[in-house]
Structure 1
Amino acid sequence: MTATREGITDMKLEKETLPKGSSDMAFVPLVEGTLHSPPDQLAEETVLARPRKMVVLHWLTVLCLIAAVTFILTRDQVDGRAARQWLLEGHRHFGLFVLVLFFVRLVLRIRLGKLPHDGNLSWIVRGLAGLTHVALYALLLALPMLGWALSNAEDKPVHLLGVTLPALVSADEDLADRLQAWHLDAAWVLLGLVSLHVAAALWHHFVLRDGVLRMMLPKRRR
C-alpha cells in the first residue's frame, strides 16, 4: 500500500514538473499505459483523409476483383458444362463491374482535382506511388476490356445484368488466341501491382506510422 502511494506521488510530481504550456498528452501514457497519436499527426491524417465516396469505390473494386478471380479459378476445378458456364458468366459480370467502377472512380477523381499528399515523403517516393496508381487504373480499364473483346472474338455475346453489350470485335479465332494471352498477361501484371500496392500500404502503417492505411479503411460509426 505504501509503495502504491509513493508511485502515485511520483507520477503527480512528474506531471507538475512539466514545462508550462506543455500538453498533458505527454503524461497520459505514463498514467494509462496507452499510446496516443500526437495532435500534429492527427491533424495531418485529417488533411490527407480521402472522401468517403473514394474509399467506398476503392473497396467495391477490391471485392469485385476478388470475386472475378474466385469465379474463374473455381471454374477450372469444376466439372459439368452448366456449372462451368455459370462460373464464367459470374467472372464476366464482376469483370464488367470493375469496368463500371473504373469510370465512376475516374469521374470522381477528376471532379475532386488534386488531392493533398504527405509532405514527409520524398518526391521520388511520391512519383513512384503516382506511377503505380496510374498503372493500376490503366489495368483496371484494360483487363475487363480485353475480356470483353475476347468473348466477342470467340463469337460469344457479353451480357451485363440481362443487357447484351455491343461487340467490340468480330469473331476471329486467331484474334481470340492473342486476346486470351494478353488478358492473362494483364491479370498477372495487375496481381503484381496490387501486391506492391499492399506492401506499400503496410510499409506506411508499420514502418512510417503515418496513417495512410487508416485513411483508406472504412470508418466505424461510434
Structure 2
Amino acid sequence: MAISNDMADNTAVQARPRKLVLVHWLTVASLLAAAAAILLRDEVSARAARAWLLEIHRHFGLFVLALFFIRVVVRARSGSLPSTGGNSWPMRAAATLVHIALYALLLVQPLLGWALSNAQDKPVHLFGLTLPALVAADEDRADTLQQWHTDAAWLLLALVTVHVLAALWHHFVLRDGVLRAMWWRRQRDE
C-alpha cells in the first residue's frame, strides 16, 4: 500500500514563527561565541588578550540573557504552537522537560556569570555601560558562584546535546520535519 501525499502532509510539522526561529539561532550563535571565548581564554597567556576574551564572554552571556527575555515575549505572542506530530506522551513529556530546563539555564547561567563578576569585584559592562551589581564583592561568594557557573555550563552542554540529538533523531529516524520547522532557510511551500 503506497502512502499518499495527503498522509505525508498530516505527519509534517508546521514551520515555527520566523521570529522564534531567529531568536533560537541567535541564542545558539551567542552560546557558541561565549563558550569559544572562554575556552580560548584558557589557552592564551597574554594578560590583555585574556581580559579581552573574558569581556567577549561576558557580552555574549548578556546577549543570551537578553535573548531569553525576547524569546519569552515572542513565544507568548506566538500563542500555542502547532503539534510536532504523533509522538507518544513520554516523548512529549521528555521534550517539554528538556525545553523547560533549557529555558531555566538560559536565564540562570548569565545571571550567575554576572553575579560572579560582581563577587570578584569586577564590573560588568555592556556596550560601554556599567551594569548594576547583583551582589557585593566577596571572595567566598565568588568561589561558590564560580562553581555554580561551571556546573550550570556543564548541565547546559548536556541538555543542548540531548536537544541536538533529539532534533537529529526526528530528522533522520522519524523523518517528521521537526528539524526543518526550526531551520532558518526553508522553502516557501513548506
Q: State the TM-score, normalized to the length of structure 2.
A: 0.93
Superposed, 1:177-196 pairs within 5 Å as: 177-196=143-162
Gaps of at least 5 residues in structure 1 are 1-25, 27-35
Kept in 1, the 8 Å contact 2:21–2:184? The answer is yes
* Number of corresponding residues: 187
Superposed, 1:1-222 pairs within 5 Å as: 38-42=5-9, 44-45=11-12, 48-220=14-186
Q: Please give the alpha-carbon distance, in whole angstroms, between the structure 2 residues aligned to 1:129 and 1:180.
A: 29
- Cα deviation, residue 221, structure 1: 6.6
- The 3 A distance-change label for structure 1 pair 212 and 221 is closer
Q: Please give the alpha-carbon distance, in whole angstroms, between the structure 2 residues aligned to 1:111 and 1:92.
A: 29
Gaps of at least 5 residues in structure 2 are none
Bigger-Rg structure (1/2): 1
Kept in 1, the 8 Å contact 2:17–2:78? The answer is no
- The 3 A distance-change label for structure 1 pair 108 and 188 is same
Q: Please give the alpha-carbon distance, in whole angstroms, between the structure 2 residues aligned to 1:145 and 1:82.
A: 25
1:42-68 deviation digits (Å, cap 9, x = unpaired) = 3553x6210011111100000000000
Kept in 1, the 8 Å contact 2:11–2:85? The answer is no
- Cα deviation, residue 137, structure 1: 0.3
In structure 2, the residue matched to 1:33 is none
Q: Please give the alpha-carbon distance, in whole angstroms, between the structure 1 residues aligned to 2:90 and 2:146.
A: 36
Identity, % of aligned positions: 66
- Cα deviation, residue 134, structure 1: 0.3
Q: State the TM-score, normalized to the length of structure 1.
A: 0.80
1:116-167 deviation digits (Å, cap 9, x = unpaired) = 2134111111111001000000000000000000000000100011111000
